[in-house]
Chain A
């Protein structure tokens, strides 16, 4: 079945450091991939979405691309700030699934220190 693997459970950075979080996915179809962010005490919210392989999505200084050849999907930001501290989830919807029927990774907790 479909799966999404996030190996980095926790990332600790200082302000202005470079962020890179990677996911790998497994599906037989043509997925749409998402990054959701969850701040403390809140529900997840969409950060960005990439529909087509090798295209980029960007939002709030974050950028994501997915590589169909390596079935990987990564999130990066050039210079993180303390307010970026949150849990980041990658998620996938395979083409035949209904909108909202997402497979989530286990999440990466980002802690940024001033």
Chain B
């Protein structure tokens, strides 16, 4: 079974501090994604990546940076955390566009971030 692991599972940060959320996948998927989940909004795409060295902006990239140093690892970076970034963050991996039956995303268990 495909595996996506996120760390930490829970994080408390102070306003203005730097936060790094990490994600590791063992699926050998080229594509990786960062979503945030908020009540009333569902999941919204922050950044994604096509492979090592690639990062692309999603629908709500402001205030976030991403880094993909290798096929397996994809990080989300909050340089100056704000209380509005308090949320649950999900990392996911998936194959490239191909047969539509391969569009399944594999999500991690999430990171709950509280910015005080």
Cβ of A32 under 8 Å from chain B: yes
How many of A's residues come within 8 Å of B, CB to CB? 25
CB-CB contacts below 8 Å: A77-109 with B? 89, 91, 93, 98-107
Interface hub of A49, A51, A99 (most chain B Cβ within 10 A) = A99
The listed residue (B50, B59, B90, B94) touching A43 by CB distance below 8 A is: B90
Task: List chain B residues, Cβ under 8 A from A99.
Answer: 31, 94-97, 102-103
Comparing B13-21, B61-69, B75-83, B107-115, the segment that makes contact with chain A is B107-115
CB atoms of B42 and A43 under 8 A apart: no
The listed residue (A41, A49, A51, A98) touching B109 by CB distance below 8 A is: A41
The listed residue (A6, A41, A100) touching B105 by CB distance below 8 A is: A100
Contacts A43-B108, A44-B43, A104-B42; A98 near B31 (Cβ below 8 A): yes
How many of B's residues come within 8 Å of A, CB to CB? 32
Contacts A99-B31, A99-B103; A104 near B108 (Cβ below 8 A): no
Cβ of A45 under 8 Å from chain B: yes
CB atoms of B103 and A93 under 8 A apart: yes
CB closest residue in chain A, given B98: A99
Task: List chain B residues, Cβ under 8 A from A44.
Answer: 43, 90, 105, 107
Cβ of A46 under 8 Å from chain B: yes
Question: Scoring A residues 36 to 79 as 1 if CB is less than 8 Å from chain B, else 0, what string do you get?
Answer: 00000111111001010000000000000000000000000000
Interface set of A (CB-CB < 8 Å, partner B):
4, 6, 32, 34, 41-46, 49, 51, 89, 91, 93, 98-107
Apart from A99-B96, A101-B58, what 7 extra A-B contacts exist at CB < 8 Å?
A43-B109, A89-B42, A93-B103, A100-B31, A100-B105, A101-B45, A102-B45
Interface set of B (CB-CB < 8 Å, partner A):
4, 31, 33, 39-45, 48, 50, 56, 58-59, 90, 92, 94-97, 100-110
